Amino acid sequence: MSRAIYWFRNDLRLEDNEGLTKAASENREVLPVYVLDSRWLEGKQFGIDRTGPFRMKFLLESLKDLKSQLQSVGSDLLFLIGNPVEQITSVYRQHNCSRVYAQELSSYEEHTDELTLSSNVSVEFIWGETLYHKEDLSFTLADLPGVFTQFRKSVEKKVQIRPLVEAPLQINSPQGFGTDFPGLEELGYDCPQPDERTVLDFRGGSKTALQRLDYYLWERELLSTYKNTRNGFIGGDYSSKFSPWLAVGAISPRQIYWQVKKYEKYVKKNSSTYWLVFELLWRDYFHFVARKYGKLIFQRSGITGEEKIQWGSAQHFDLWANGLTREPLVDANMRELNATGFMSNRGRQIVASYLMHTMKIDWRLGAAYFEKMLIDYDPCSNYGNWMYIAGVGNDPRGGREFNLSHQKESYDPQGKYQELWA
Protein backbone atom coordinates (compact mmCIF):
# COMPACT_ATOMS: atom_id res chain seq x y z
CA MET A 1 0.00 0.00 0.00
CA SER A 2 1.27 3.37 -0.92
CA ARG A 3 0.88 7.09 -1.25
CA ALA A 4 -0.45 8.56 -4.50
CA ILE A 5 -1.30 11.94 -5.96
CA TYR A 6 -4.70 12.57 -7.42
CA TRP A 7 -4.14 15.40 -9.88
CA PHE A 8 -7.44 17.22 -10.43
CA ARG A 9 -7.76 18.71 -13.90
CA ASN A 10 -11.10 19.27 -15.69
CA ASP A 11 -12.86 16.93 -13.26
CA LEU A 12 -13.54 19.05 -10.18
CA ARG A 13 -15.96 16.62 -8.51
CA LEU A 14 -16.05 13.55 -6.31
CA GLU A 15 -19.09 11.85 -7.90
CA ASP A 16 -18.61 9.85 -11.07
CA ASN A 17 -14.88 10.41 -11.01
CA GLU A 18 -13.42 7.05 -11.86
CA GLY A 19 -9.79 8.06 -11.43
CA LEU A 20 -10.32 9.52 -7.98
CA THR A 21 -12.28 6.51 -6.78
CA LYS A 22 -9.58 4.23 -8.16
CA ALA A 23 -6.79 6.21 -6.50
CA ALA A 24 -8.61 6.15 -3.15
CA SER A 25 -9.21 2.40 -3.31
CA GLU A 26 -5.71 1.42 -4.42
CA ASN A 27 -3.65 3.54 -2.02
CA ARG A 28 -3.18 4.01 1.69
CA GLU A 29 -2.93 7.76 1.26
CA VAL A 30 -3.97 10.11 -1.51
CA LEU A 31 -2.89 13.71 -1.97
CA PRO A 32 -5.43 15.64 -4.03
CA VAL A 33 -3.65 18.41 -5.95
CA TYR A 34 -4.79 21.12 -8.32
CA VAL A 35 -2.31 23.13 -10.37
CA LEU A 36 -3.48 26.41 -11.82
CA ASP A 37 -1.64 26.43 -15.11
CA SER A 38 0.51 29.57 -15.30
CA ARG A 39 0.15 29.50 -19.10
CA TRP A 40 -3.51 30.38 -18.58
CA LEU A 41 -2.52 33.37 -16.47
CA GLU A 42 0.39 34.67 -18.51
CA GLY A 43 -0.28 33.42 -22.02
CA LYS A 44 -1.58 35.49 -24.89
CA GLN A 45 -2.74 34.59 -28.40
CA PHE A 46 -2.85 37.30 -31.04
CA GLY A 47 -2.34 39.72 -28.14
CA ILE A 48 -5.44 38.39 -26.34
CA ASP A 49 -5.19 37.05 -22.77
CA ARG A 50 -5.95 33.38 -22.47
CA THR A 51 -8.16 33.60 -19.40
CA GLY A 52 -10.56 36.37 -18.48
CA PRO A 53 -12.18 37.11 -15.12
CA PHE A 54 -15.47 35.24 -15.62
CA ARG A 55 -13.89 31.86 -16.08
CA MET A 56 -11.26 32.42 -13.42
CA LYS A 57 -13.92 33.40 -10.89
CA PHE A 58 -15.97 30.34 -11.76
CA LEU A 59 -12.90 28.12 -11.50
CA LEU A 60 -11.97 29.44 -8.06
CA GLU A 61 -15.54 28.88 -6.85
CA SER A 62 -15.41 25.34 -8.22
CA LEU A 63 -12.14 24.68 -6.41
CA LYS A 64 -13.53 26.03 -3.18
CA ASP A 65 -16.46 23.67 -3.44
CA LEU A 66 -14.14 20.77 -4.29
CA LYS A 67 -11.97 21.52 -1.28
CA SER A 68 -14.93 21.43 1.08
CA GLN A 69 -16.15 18.17 -0.46
CA LEU A 70 -12.72 16.66 -0.01
CA GLN A 71 -12.66 17.83 3.58
CA SER A 72 -15.99 16.14 4.18
CA VAL A 73 -14.41 12.78 3.30
CA GLY A 74 -11.34 13.35 5.46
CA SER A 75 -9.04 14.88 2.88
CA ASP A 76 -8.12 18.32 1.52
CA LEU A 77 -6.78 20.06 -1.57
CA LEU A 78 -3.28 21.26 -2.28
CA PHE A 79 -3.46 24.26 -4.60
CA LEU A 80 -0.42 25.28 -6.63
CA ILE A 81 0.30 27.67 -9.49
CA GLY A 82 2.81 26.93 -12.22
CA ASN A 83 3.62 24.47 -14.93
CA PRO A 84 1.47 21.42 -14.10
CA VAL A 85 4.08 18.85 -15.08
CA GLU A 86 6.82 20.51 -13.01
CA GLN A 87 4.54 21.02 -10.02
CA ILE A 88 3.18 17.49 -9.99
CA THR A 89 6.67 16.03 -10.41
CA SER A 90 7.93 18.12 -7.52
CA VAL A 91 5.07 17.10 -5.17
CA TYR A 92 5.58 13.48 -6.20
CA ARG A 93 9.23 13.56 -5.17
CA GLN A 94 8.78 15.70 -2.09
CA HIS A 95 6.06 13.43 -0.65
CA ASN A 96 7.58 10.12 -1.75
CA CYS A 97 4.61 9.15 -3.86
CA SER A 98 4.54 6.03 -5.93
CA ARG A 99 1.90 6.97 -8.47
CA VAL A 100 -0.09 9.83 -9.97
CA TYR A 101 -3.69 9.36 -11.09
CA ALA A 102 -5.44 11.92 -13.28
CA GLN A 103 -8.15 12.33 -15.83
CA GLU A 104 -6.97 12.00 -19.41
CA LEU A 105 -7.82 15.08 -21.47
CA SER A 106 -8.53 15.49 -25.16
CA SER A 107 -6.89 18.75 -26.11
CA TYR A 108 -3.37 19.09 -27.42
CA GLU A 109 -1.59 21.07 -24.71
CA GLU A 110 -3.05 18.95 -21.93
CA HIS A 111 -2.30 15.72 -23.76
CA THR A 112 1.27 16.83 -24.35
CA ASP A 113 1.59 17.44 -20.59
CA GLU A 114 0.43 13.85 -20.06
CA LEU A 115 3.19 12.50 -22.25
CA THR A 116 5.82 14.64 -20.53
CA LEU A 117 4.66 13.71 -17.04
CA SER A 118 4.65 10.03 -17.97
CA SER A 119 8.35 10.23 -18.68
CA ASN A 120 9.03 11.73 -15.20
CA VAL A 121 6.88 9.67 -12.83
CA SER A 122 4.63 6.62 -12.61
CA VAL A 123 1.23 7.82 -13.77
CA GLU A 124 -2.15 6.48 -14.76
CA PHE A 125 -4.54 8.54 -16.85
CA ILE A 126 -8.20 7.62 -16.75
CA TRP A 127 -10.72 8.69 -19.37
CA GLY A 128 -13.76 10.59 -18.09
CA GLU A 129 -14.48 13.75 -20.07
CA THR A 130 -17.12 12.45 -22.43
CA LEU A 131 -20.48 10.71 -22.32
CA TYR A 132 -19.25 7.79 -24.38
CA HIS A 133 -16.04 6.28 -23.09
CA LYS A 134 -13.15 6.49 -25.54
CA GLU A 135 -12.36 2.82 -25.09
CA ASP A 136 -15.96 1.77 -25.83
CA LEU A 137 -16.16 3.45 -29.24
CA SER A 138 -17.04 1.22 -32.13
CA PHE A 139 -14.04 2.54 -34.11
CA THR A 140 -10.50 3.63 -33.37
CA LEU A 141 -9.83 7.36 -33.14
CA ALA A 142 -7.95 7.12 -36.43
CA ASP A 143 -11.26 5.99 -37.99
CA LEU A 144 -13.40 8.61 -36.25
CA PRO A 145 -16.07 9.57 -38.83
CA GLY A 146 -15.43 12.97 -40.40
CA VAL A 147 -19.12 13.89 -40.12
CA PHE A 148 -21.04 14.19 -36.86
CA THR A 149 -24.13 12.29 -38.05
CA GLN A 150 -22.09 9.21 -38.87
CA PHE A 151 -20.40 9.38 -35.48
CA ARG A 152 -23.73 9.80 -33.69
CA LYS A 153 -25.47 6.98 -35.51
CA SER A 154 -22.59 4.64 -34.90
CA VAL A 155 -22.33 5.25 -31.15
CA GLU A 156 -26.09 5.36 -30.62
CA LYS A 157 -26.42 1.99 -32.29
CA LYS A 158 -23.42 0.17 -30.96
CA VAL A 159 -22.18 1.70 -27.70
CA GLN A 160 -23.60 1.60 -24.17
CA ILE A 161 -23.14 4.51 -21.80
CA ARG A 162 -21.41 3.37 -18.66
CA PRO A 163 -23.05 3.58 -15.23
CA LEU A 164 -21.97 6.23 -12.73
CA VAL A 165 -18.98 5.65 -10.50
CA GLU A 166 -19.65 6.21 -6.82
CA ALA A 167 -17.69 8.85 -4.95
CA PRO A 168 -15.14 7.60 -2.42
CA LEU A 169 -16.63 7.55 1.09
CA GLN A 170 -13.29 8.32 2.62
CA ILE A 171 -9.95 9.59 1.32
CA ASN A 172 -6.99 9.19 3.64
CA SER A 173 -4.50 11.99 3.25
CA PRO A 174 -1.48 13.20 5.18
CA GLN A 175 -2.39 15.69 7.92
CA GLY A 176 -2.27 19.39 7.14
CA PHE A 177 -1.15 19.33 3.54
CA GLY A 178 -4.11 21.36 2.20
CA THR A 179 -3.66 24.99 1.24
CA ASP A 180 -5.85 28.01 0.75
CA PHE A 181 -6.09 29.55 -2.65
CA PRO A 182 -5.82 33.14 -3.73
CA GLY A 183 -8.73 35.43 -4.46
CA LEU A 184 -9.42 36.76 -7.92
CA GLU A 185 -7.73 40.08 -7.18
CA GLU A 186 -4.57 38.39 -5.95
CA LEU A 187 -4.34 36.70 -9.32
CA GLY A 188 -4.47 40.11 -10.96
CA TYR A 189 -8.13 40.19 -12.00
CA ASP A 190 -10.81 42.75 -11.31
CA CYS A 191 -13.91 41.07 -9.97
CA PRO A 192 -16.59 41.24 -12.71
CA GLN A 193 -19.52 43.47 -11.83
CA PRO A 194 -22.89 41.70 -11.74
CA ASP A 195 -25.19 42.61 -14.61
CA GLU A 196 -28.91 42.16 -14.05
CA ARG A 197 -29.40 41.16 -17.70
CA THR A 198 -27.31 38.01 -17.23
CA VAL A 199 -28.97 34.74 -18.20
CA LEU A 200 -27.90 33.18 -14.90
CA ASP A 201 -25.90 33.99 -11.81
CA PHE A 202 -23.32 31.27 -12.54
CA ARG A 203 -21.56 29.94 -9.44
CA GLY A 204 -18.92 27.25 -9.68
CA GLY A 205 -18.97 23.92 -7.85
CA SER A 206 -20.62 20.55 -8.12
CA LYS A 207 -23.22 21.50 -5.56
CA THR A 208 -24.49 24.33 -7.76
CA ALA A 209 -24.20 22.09 -10.84
CA LEU A 210 -26.56 19.59 -9.27
CA GLN A 211 -28.88 22.39 -8.19
CA ARG A 212 -29.03 23.60 -11.78
CA LEU A 213 -29.72 20.06 -13.00
CA ASP A 214 -32.44 19.75 -10.41
CA TYR A 215 -33.98 23.07 -11.45
CA TYR A 216 -33.87 22.37 -15.18
CA LEU A 217 -35.27 18.86 -14.96
CA TRP A 218 -37.26 18.25 -11.82
CA GLU A 219 -38.28 21.63 -10.46
CA ARG A 220 -39.37 23.30 -13.70
CA GLU A 221 -39.49 20.38 -16.15
CA LEU A 222 -37.83 22.62 -18.74
CA LEU A 223 -36.28 19.56 -20.34
CA SER A 224 -39.68 18.67 -21.84
CA THR A 225 -39.56 21.76 -24.09
CA TYR A 226 -35.80 22.11 -24.61
CA LYS A 227 -35.86 21.44 -28.36
CA ASN A 228 -38.30 24.31 -28.94
CA THR A 229 -36.60 26.80 -26.67
CA ARG A 230 -32.91 26.06 -27.16
CA ASN A 231 -32.38 28.77 -29.77
CA GLY A 232 -33.42 31.52 -27.38
CA PHE A 233 -31.42 34.53 -26.27
CA ILE A 234 -32.95 35.86 -23.08
CA GLY A 235 -33.09 34.40 -19.58
CA GLY A 236 -32.01 31.25 -17.81
CA ASP A 237 -34.67 28.85 -19.02
CA TYR A 238 -34.25 28.58 -22.81
CA SER A 239 -31.35 26.14 -22.51
CA SER A 240 -29.75 24.08 -19.79
CA LYS A 241 -26.70 26.34 -19.07
CA PHE A 242 -24.82 23.21 -17.98
CA SER A 243 -21.77 24.19 -20.05
CA PRO A 244 -19.65 26.07 -17.44
CA TRP A 245 -19.96 23.17 -14.99
CA LEU A 246 -19.20 20.64 -17.71
CA ALA A 247 -16.12 22.61 -18.75
CA VAL A 248 -14.49 22.33 -15.32
CA GLY A 249 -15.96 18.91 -14.71
CA ALA A 250 -18.04 19.96 -11.71
CA ILE A 251 -20.61 17.67 -13.31
CA SER A 252 -20.01 14.82 -15.74
CA PRO A 253 -22.00 14.31 -18.95
CA ARG A 254 -22.94 10.88 -17.60
CA GLN A 255 -24.49 12.43 -14.49
CA ILE A 256 -26.68 14.51 -16.79
CA TYR A 257 -27.43 11.57 -19.06
CA TRP A 258 -28.64 9.27 -16.29
CA GLN A 259 -30.85 12.00 -14.88
CA VAL A 260 -32.35 12.48 -18.35
CA LYS A 261 -33.08 8.75 -18.49
CA LYS A 262 -34.78 8.94 -15.11
CA TYR A 263 -36.77 11.95 -16.27
CA GLU A 264 -37.85 10.06 -19.38
CA LYS A 265 -39.08 7.26 -17.17
CA TYR A 266 -40.93 9.30 -14.56
CA VAL A 267 -41.91 12.57 -16.26
CA LYS A 268 -41.77 12.59 -20.04
CA LYS A 269 -39.86 11.17 -22.96
CA ASN A 270 -40.00 13.19 -26.17
CA SER A 271 -37.81 14.78 -28.85
CA SER A 272 -36.63 17.43 -26.36
CA THR A 273 -35.33 14.91 -23.86
CA TYR A 274 -33.52 13.20 -26.71
CA TRP A 275 -32.16 16.50 -27.98
CA LEU A 276 -30.26 17.39 -24.84
CA VAL A 277 -28.35 14.12 -25.14
CA PHE A 278 -27.93 14.82 -28.86
CA GLU A 279 -26.19 18.10 -27.96
CA LEU A 280 -23.98 16.33 -25.45
CA LEU A 281 -22.96 14.12 -28.34
CA TRP A 282 -21.72 17.19 -30.21
CA ARG A 283 -19.53 17.88 -27.22
CA ASP A 284 -18.26 14.31 -27.29
CA TYR A 285 -17.62 14.53 -30.99
CA PHE A 286 -15.50 17.68 -30.70
CA HIS A 287 -13.51 16.08 -27.89
CA PHE A 288 -12.70 13.06 -30.04
CA VAL A 289 -11.92 15.33 -33.02
CA ALA A 290 -9.50 17.31 -30.84
CA ARG A 291 -7.87 14.16 -29.60
CA LYS A 292 -7.52 12.79 -33.11
CA TYR A 293 -6.18 15.94 -34.77
CA GLY A 294 -4.05 17.45 -31.97
CA LYS A 295 -2.77 20.92 -32.75
CA LEU A 296 -4.39 21.05 -36.21
CA ILE A 297 -7.59 22.34 -34.63
CA PHE A 298 -5.78 25.54 -33.70
CA GLN A 299 -4.48 26.20 -37.19
CA ARG A 300 -6.24 28.47 -39.64
CA SER A 301 -6.63 25.72 -42.23
CA GLY A 302 -8.01 23.44 -39.51
CA ILE A 303 -8.30 19.73 -40.00
CA THR A 304 -9.15 19.92 -43.70
CA GLY A 305 -6.07 21.92 -44.65
CA GLU A 306 -8.19 23.77 -47.20
CA GLU A 307 -9.27 27.33 -46.50
CA LYS A 308 -12.58 28.46 -47.96
CA ILE A 309 -12.42 32.15 -47.08
CA GLN A 310 -10.18 34.85 -48.55
CA TRP A 311 -8.98 36.38 -45.31
CA GLY A 312 -8.63 40.16 -45.07
CA SER A 313 -7.12 42.55 -42.55
CA ALA A 314 -7.89 42.28 -38.84
CA GLN A 315 -7.87 46.02 -38.28
CA HIS A 316 -11.56 46.15 -37.32
CA PHE A 317 -11.39 43.20 -34.96
CA ASP A 318 -11.87 45.43 -31.90
CA LEU A 319 -15.17 46.71 -33.30
CA TRP A 320 -16.43 43.14 -33.35
CA ALA A 321 -14.99 42.29 -29.95
CA ASN A 322 -16.44 45.40 -28.31
CA GLY A 323 -19.88 45.07 -29.89
CA LEU A 324 -19.46 48.15 -32.09
CA THR A 325 -20.00 46.78 -35.61
CA ARG A 326 -23.36 48.62 -35.88
CA GLU A 327 -24.97 45.33 -36.72
CA PRO A 328 -27.41 45.22 -33.76
CA LEU A 329 -27.73 41.46 -33.38
CA VAL A 330 -23.97 40.92 -33.55
CA ASP A 331 -23.31 43.79 -31.17
CA ALA A 332 -25.96 42.65 -28.69
CA ASN A 333 -24.36 39.22 -28.47
CA MET A 334 -20.85 40.56 -28.04
CA ARG A 335 -22.01 42.99 -25.36
CA GLU A 336 -23.68 40.16 -23.52
CA LEU A 337 -20.47 38.14 -23.68
CA ASN A 338 -18.37 41.05 -22.45
CA ALA A 339 -20.73 41.86 -19.60
CA THR A 340 -21.52 38.33 -18.42
CA GLY A 341 -19.09 35.76 -19.89
CA PHE A 342 -21.97 33.89 -21.54
CA MET A 343 -23.56 33.86 -24.99
CA SER A 344 -26.25 31.56 -26.38
CA ASN A 345 -25.40 28.93 -28.96
CA ARG A 346 -27.37 30.83 -31.60
CA GLY A 347 -25.47 34.01 -30.73
CA ARG A 348 -22.10 32.27 -30.97
CA GLN A 349 -22.93 31.00 -34.43
CA ILE A 350 -24.09 34.43 -35.58
CA VAL A 351 -21.09 36.41 -34.32
CA ALA A 352 -18.60 33.80 -35.50
CA SER A 353 -20.11 33.75 -38.98
CA TYR A 354 -20.13 37.56 -39.09
CA LEU A 355 -16.48 37.86 -38.06
CA MET A 356 -15.21 35.48 -40.68
CA HIS A 357 -17.70 35.59 -43.54
CA THR A 358 -18.59 39.30 -43.46
CA MET A 359 -15.52 40.93 -41.90
CA LYS A 360 -13.14 38.33 -43.40
CA ILE A 361 -11.13 38.26 -40.18
CA ASP A 362 -9.09 35.15 -39.36
CA TRP A 363 -11.42 32.94 -37.33
CA ARG A 364 -8.66 32.15 -34.83
CA LEU A 365 -8.84 35.69 -33.43
CA GLY A 366 -12.50 35.18 -32.67
CA ALA A 367 -11.79 31.80 -31.14
CA ALA A 368 -9.02 33.31 -29.01
CA TYR A 369 -11.37 36.05 -27.86
CA PHE A 370 -13.98 33.44 -26.92
CA GLU A 371 -11.26 31.53 -25.09
CA LYS A 372 -10.59 34.57 -22.96
CA MET A 373 -14.17 35.63 -22.37
CA LEU A 374 -16.35 32.52 -22.18
CA ILE A 375 -17.20 31.26 -18.72
CA ASP A 376 -17.66 27.81 -20.29
CA TYR A 377 -14.58 27.80 -22.51
CA ASP A 378 -13.66 24.28 -23.55
CA PRO A 379 -10.89 24.02 -26.15
CA CYS A 380 -12.51 21.15 -28.03
CA SER A 381 -16.03 22.64 -28.29
CA ASN A 382 -14.71 26.12 -28.98
CA TYR A 383 -12.21 25.34 -31.70
CA GLY A 384 -14.42 22.56 -33.08
CA ASN A 385 -17.33 24.95 -33.58
CA TRP A 386 -15.20 27.76 -34.97
CA MET A 387 -13.57 25.40 -37.47
CA TYR A 388 -17.00 24.09 -38.44
CA ILE A 389 -18.35 27.54 -39.29
CA ALA A 390 -15.11 28.44 -41.12
CA GLY A 391 -15.46 25.35 -43.30
CA VAL A 392 -12.14 23.89 -42.14
CA GLY A 393 -13.65 21.40 -39.70
CA ASN A 394 -16.37 18.79 -39.80
CA ASP A 395 -19.12 20.50 -41.76
CA PRO A 396 -20.03 18.34 -44.76
CA ARG A 397 -21.39 21.52 -46.42
CA GLY A 398 -18.01 23.24 -46.12
CA GLY A 399 -18.85 25.98 -43.60
CA ARG A 400 -21.82 28.07 -42.48
CA GLU A 401 -22.61 31.64 -43.36
CA PHE A 402 -25.60 32.87 -41.38
CA ASN A 403 -27.96 35.34 -43.02
CA LEU A 404 -28.48 38.06 -40.42
CA SER A 405 -31.93 39.19 -41.57
CA HIS A 406 -33.13 35.63 -41.45
CA GLN A 407 -31.60 35.14 -37.99
CA LYS A 408 -33.30 38.27 -36.68
CA GLU A 409 -36.69 37.29 -38.13
CA SER A 410 -36.46 33.76 -36.80
CA TYR A 411 -34.94 34.28 -33.37
CA ASP A 412 -35.47 37.91 -32.33
CA PRO A 413 -38.48 38.99 -34.43
CA GLN A 414 -39.52 41.82 -32.10
CA GLY A 415 -35.94 42.91 -31.46
CA LYS A 416 -36.26 42.37 -27.70
CA TYR A 417 -32.83 40.89 -27.35
CA GLN A 418 -31.21 43.61 -29.46
CA GLU A 419 -32.98 46.19 -27.32
CA LEU A 420 -31.85 44.53 -24.09
CA TRP A 421 -28.19 44.91 -25.08
CA ALA A 422 -28.47 48.14 -27.12
Ligand X SMILES: Cc1cc2nc3c(=O)[nH]c(=O)nc-3n(C[C@H](O)[C@H](O)[C@H](O)COP(=O)(O)OP(=O)(O)OC[C@H]3O[C@@H](n4cnc5c(N)ncnc54)[C@H](O)[C@@H]3O)c2cc1C
Interface with ligand X by CB under 6 A: which residues? 230, 239-243, 246-247, 276, 279-280, 282-283, 286, 344-345, 348-349, 352, 370, 374, 376-378, 381-382, 385-386
Q: Which is nearer to ligand X, 38 or 345 (CB)?
A: 345
Alpha carbon 57 to its chain's center: 15
Smallest gap from Cβ 41 to ligand X, in A, equals 19
Q: Which is nearer to ligand X, 92 or 383 (CB)?
A: 383
- Alpha carbons 21 and 170: distance in angstroms, whole number: 10
Smallest gap from Cβ 168 to ligand X, in A, equals 26
- Alpha carbons 267 and 36: distance in angstroms, whole number: 41
Smallest gap from Cβ 351 to ligand X, in A, equals 8
Q: Which is nearer to ligand X, 239 or 259 (CB)?
A: 239
Element (H, E) at 358: none
- Closest of 240, 196, 184 to residue 215, by C-alpha: 240
User: Taking the CB of residue 404, how many other CB atoms lie within 10 A of it?
Assistant: 16
Question: What is the SS3 assignment for 4?
Answer: strand
- Alpha carbons 352 and 400: distance in angstroms, whole number: 10
Q: Which is nearer to ligand X, 87 or 333 (CB)?
A: 333
Q: Which is nearer to ligand X, 90 or 358 (CB)?
A: 358
- Closest of 373, 351, 372 to residue 363, by C-alpha: 351
HEC per residue, 191-245: CCCCCCCCCCCCCCCHHHHHHHHHHHHHHCCHHHHHHHHCCCCCCCCCCCCCHHH
Smallest gap from Cβ 362 to ligand X, in A, equals 14
Strands 44-45 and 48-49: antiparallel
Smallest gap from Cβ 415 to ligand X, in A, equals 21
Q: Which is nearer to ligand X, 22 or 197 (CB)?
A: 197
Smallest gap from Cβ 4 to ligand X, in A, equals 30
Q: Which is nearer to ligand X, 23 or 389 (CB)?
A: 389
- Closest of 162, 243, 166, 156 to residue 199, by C-alpha: 243
* H helices, E strands: number in the chain: 18, 7
Q: Which is nearer to ligand X, 270 or 345 (CB)?
A: 345
Based on the number of CB atoms within 10 Å of its own CB, is 57 exposed (0-12), middle (13-18) or buried (19 or more)?
buried
Element (H, E) at 3: strand 3-8
Q: Which is nearer to ligand X, 102 or 246 (CB)?
A: 246
Smallest gap from Cβ 113 to ligand X, in A, equals 20
Smallest gap from Cβ 282 to ligand X, in A, equals 4
- Closest of 384, 377, 124 to residue 243, by C-alpha: 377
Smallest gap from Cβ 346 to ligand X, in A, equals 8
